[in-house]
Structure 1
Amino acid sequence: MAQAFALASGALVATNLVSILIAGRRLDATGAPPPDLRKKPPVSLVVPVRGIENFTAETLERAFRLTWPRYELLFCVAHGNDPVIPEIEKAAIAYPHVEMRILVGDDRISANPKLNNCVKGWQAARYDWVILADSNVLMPPEYIQHLMGSWRSDSGLVCSTPLGSRPEGFWAEVECMFLNTQQARWQYAGEAVGLGFAQGKSMLWYKPMLDANGGIHALNAEIAEDAASTKLVNRLGLKVHLVSAPFEQPLGRRTEQEIWSRQARWSRLRRVTFPGFFAPEILLGVLPPLLLALAAVALGDLTLLPTVLAVLVAIYLPEVALARSKGWRLSRWSVPAMMVRDVMMPAIWLRAWIGGAIDWRGNTMTIGTNASELKEAPAGS
């Protein structure tokens, strides 16, 4: 029995290492140049915005500084009194050559507030290529080129995961470890072996293709627009591809409650939309192989401290190496943050099965397996 526990622990450690090796091979380092492109068609960027975030001024300005020859910015706001509107107008003054519109209105097509906010932007987009871009993405100058350059003959959608950067405080470090060496790593490993899943942070669509298959309203098929996108693209016999160098999301300060709320919401969304892929997530992180190793110690002849240290090193050293090789966030708090993340993960996984109401930036979302509901917070909250 001790040998069985030890083998199971070793299998989980090996799986973790293989995912890191696959992701490391698939990913380029931060700042890597985009692919060369001969054709650069005009692009519409639909950016849903709500309220002021930690780096709003900077992320807005970055959107006006893209090097693509011709693009338009469509900022979508649900309410005309949103405090982000003056910030958009302020950023636009310095870049009068960039096509920009602010679209105000609330199209309730789903229980997903972000998708509702994007409808008017999609309908107003002038160009065939459309990017749905979250407002907190720190777009590099070659943002569009990275996305367009990742489009292949069998692509139905090109996306990028967010890379956490510029954390302030320990809990923001924890969020970096959730986003980067955990979630981004597994998403890129999955895409590399043919299991591409969409990520809603940055999504490049060929508009005629989506319009021919229900348009943006088709993304209402699931509570999460990225899950609906994945299923739609797969149904068409196409694939979801990821850019080779993901885009940053600067974090600033985060609280424990914010991390819990965000991860619980994402976890619940994965549980509802892809239950078969979500269920094995309980095996991720350091706790499962560590507990199996401890069982092997209790039942066999292994020594406690060397066994525990071996598991910790085997899990965290490759993770640190991946972050360092790609230029991702690393600090003296990174390994402690990884440990806290891994302690939180089983509780978040269990929370996803319980269901109930979850907060999304002041909105109360009830995410169910058959139906979901949205109660929106007052404008400006």
Structure 2
Amino acid sequence: FLSTLQARWQYAGEALGLGFAQGKSMLWNKPMLDANGGIRALAAEIAEDAAATKLVNGLGLRVNLVAAPFEQPLGRRTFDEIWSRQARWARLRRVTFPLFFAPEILTGAVVPLVLALIAAASAGISLWPTAIAVLAAFYLPECALAWSKGWYLSPRMVAAIMARDLILPAMWARGWLGGAVDWRGNAMTIGTKAAELEETPSGA
């Protein structure tokens, strides 16, 4: 979810002037921040990186990313832990940047593959070559990016990328739904109107 998916979209966005702040590692021009509400201004959104991005953009400035992403070893995670983390992030993106979140459904291979197969079937084109072409168009550049940047790449990684894309549509749909998400063992409800966290009893 992070390196070859979100990192490439983050850097592509920055290249187009659409950089987004990253919560736990932000460097600020302190006089500028102090002149515009100080650190309390970051409480304007449920996620401080979203608040930072909107604050900087609102001043007519640009968020800049570091030259290359940092490695973030996560260790082994269960499927439930992966789902919980990504569902929380999806919900936060949906609440804070809904117009950018909406097209995320197209970042994985599943929806484009289905649309390509429907188009191929309508045009009388063989489905297998169509499927292979679409999957190659998605995964070969992603693997090439990982290889060129020295990021982790192995057959297991390729399998994980495909599994990730199978999960993405459900994750995207989860982002549009209300209900609680897990945050460090606490069931939290992320609202859409005031963008607030409301703690609810956890079943964990």
Query: What's the TM-score, normalizing by structure 2?
Result: 0.94
> Is 1:198–2:198 an aligned residue pair?
no
Query: Identical aligned pairs, as a percentage?
Result: 71
Deviation, 1:356, is 1.3
Query: What amino acid is the match of 1:213?
Result: N
What's the offset of the Cα at 1:373? Answer: 2.6
Tell me the equivalent position of 1:261: 84
Secondary structure (helix, strand or coil) at the match of 2:64 reads strand
Show CA shifts across 1:288-346 (max 9, x none): 22101211232222112111111111110000000000011111111111111111111
Q: How many residues are treated as equivalent by the alignment?
A: 201
Residue ranges of structure 1 left out of the alignment (5+ in a row): 1-177
Runs of 4+ in 1 over 4 A off after TM superposition: none
Deviation string, structure 1 residues 92-128 (Cα, Å, up to 9, x no partner): xxxxxxxxxxxxxxxxxxxxxxxxxxxxxxxxxxxxx
Where do residues 282-301 of structure 1 align in structure 2 (5 Å cutoff)? Answer: 282-301=105-124
Aligned to 1:302: 125
Does 2:199 correspond to 1:375?
yes
Aligned amino acid, residue 65 of structure 2: L
1:312 equivalent to 2:135? Answer yes
Q: Which residue of 1 aligns with 2:9?
A: 186
One-letter code aligned to 2:185: G
| Amino acid aligned to 1:221 | A
Does structure 2 retain, via aligned residues, the 8 Å contact 1:197–1:240? Answer: yes
Task: Give the alignment's TM-score, normalised by structure 1.
Answer: 0.51
Q: Does 1:322 align with 2:129?
A: no
Between the aligned partners of 2:67 and 2:134, the Cα distance in structure 1 is 30
1:207 to partner: Cα distance: 1.9
The answer for unaligned runs of 5 or more in structure 2 is: none
Q: Tell me, what secondary structure is at the counterpart of 1:364?
A: strand
- What letter is aligned with 2:52? S
**Structure whose residues are more often strand by fraction:** 1
Separation in structure 2 between the aligned mates of residue 305 and residue 217 of structure 1, nearest angstrom: 55
Q: Hey, what's the Cα distance between the residues in 2 that align with 1:305 and 1:266?
A: 35
1:208 paired with 2:35, answer no
Superposition pairs for residues 52-201 of structure 1, below 5 Å? 178-201=1-24
What corresponds to 1:9 in structure 2?
Answer: none
- Letter of the aligned partner of 1:212 in structure 2? A
> Higher Cα Rg: structure 1 or 2?
1
Measured on the aligned residues, the alpha-carbon RMSD in Å equals 1.6
From the two aligned structures, give the one with the greater helix fraction.
2
For the residues of structure 1 that align with 2:80 and 2:168, how far apart are their CA atoms?
A: 14
